[in-house]
Amino acid sequence: MSRAARIIVSTRQEQMEQYRHRAYRSAVDPIKSDRERFAIIPPGVNRRIFSPKATELDPAIKARLNAALRRDLPPARQNLPLILCASRLDQKKNHPGLAQAFAHSASLRAVANLAIVARGLDNPMQDRHQLPDEERSILDEIASLLDKHALWHTLTTFPLNNQAELAAACRIAAKQQSVFALTAHYEPFGLAPLEAMSCGQPAVVTRNGGPAESLFDAQTQRKFGVLVDPDDPQSIARGLLEALSPQKIWREYQQAGLQRVISRYTWDRTAAGYLSELKGLLSEPQHRPNALPIPACFTNPRPENAIPLLGLTERYLET
């Protein structure tokens, strides 16, 4: 890293916080002397999958979702919007925090159902004993909360087993004015909300980490989604209610989120960012005097150009 001509990061927070850690102190100074060596190029959404345009998979996912709604919810609640939580079952993702916010807000329960995704099980809450211990413990905690507040009639669960199924579910949920929720304690970048936004679903997301930059423009003060404090159930509930507001506001979030993805968070944009940086470096070699040359094995991987592991160590770790 100390010899890198350019250091690519996904967010400014990654540059300013991660690379200020003492582990990098001898290699790079992201605040002062090496600030110009950093370039922020975020990863992108695969818009071939995550798009508002329906695919041949959508009818099957709609049927799966409708079956879960009929199984889990009384008829009077089956047409309400969903708060879709599709994160993997991991303590860091804070599913119980989202469930607590939902359980303690009568206003929220009056306008939406909570929908939790768990891969591989047709009825995740009923069959949670089949899950690994950590995943089961998360659903057990949510089940206890539902028991305590008598709220089983407000929750539905179902499986989504790949990206295409998730994209279809986001499109279908958007037609019910639903929102995507990711209330993780910390999210380094946060691609999942952007994928949901790319399908036309507004997102309510943790303010801790990358989403603070992707869902909010500090220069223009423009919001592209709703940021919440994941450790405050009231903040989560307020954020969800804001996104679930009357159709005009919901539609504004939908359009703002979709345009944010298209303008900044696609793989085409990511590739263009890398190409721009590379062209700039190649055109001004005088600005990278400490950069090491690229060995021929990387540009022409023929046997005679191979470098043994010891050679790579000497080149990059002992110079």
Q: Where residue 190 sits, what CATH number does that domain have?
A: 3.40.50.2000
Q: What is the pLDDT of residue 288?
A: 66
78 & 225 share domain: yes
Q: What is the pLDDT of residue 318?
A: 60
Q: Is residue 150 part of a domain?
A: yes
Q: Is residue 204 part of a domain?
A: yes
Q: What is the pLDDT of residue 72?
A: 98
239 & 307 share domain: no
- Under 8 Å between Cβ of 193 and 265: no
Nearest CA to 201 out of 154, 161, 260, 119 is that of 260
Show pLDDT as tens, one digit a residue, over the chain (319 residues).
Answer: 887 889 999 999 999 999 988 888 888 898 888 888 899 999 999 999 999 999 999 999 999 999 999 999 999 999 999 999 999 999 999 999 999 999 999 999 999 999 999 999 999 999 999 999 999 999 999 999 999 999 999 999 999 999 999 999 999 999 999 999 999 999 999 999 999 999 999 999 999 999 999 999 999 999 999 999 999 999 999 999 999 998 899 999 999 999 999 999 999 999 999 999 999 988 887 666 677 777 788 788 888 888 887 776 776 666 5
Number of folded domains in the chain? 3
230 & 274 share domain: no
125 & 176 share domain: yes
Q: Is residue 297 part of a domain?
A: yes
Q: What is the pLDDT of residue 282?
A: 85
Q: What is the pLDDT of residue 108?
A: 98
Q: What is the pLDDT of residue 178?
A: 98
191 & 274 share domain: no
130 & 221 share domain: yes
Q: What is the pLDDT of residue 190?
A: 97
Residue 297 domain boundaries: 293-319
Q: What is the pLDDT of residue 237?
A: 99
Q: What is the pLDDT of residue 265?
A: 98
170 & 88 share domain: yes
Q: What is the pLDDT of residue 317?
A: 63
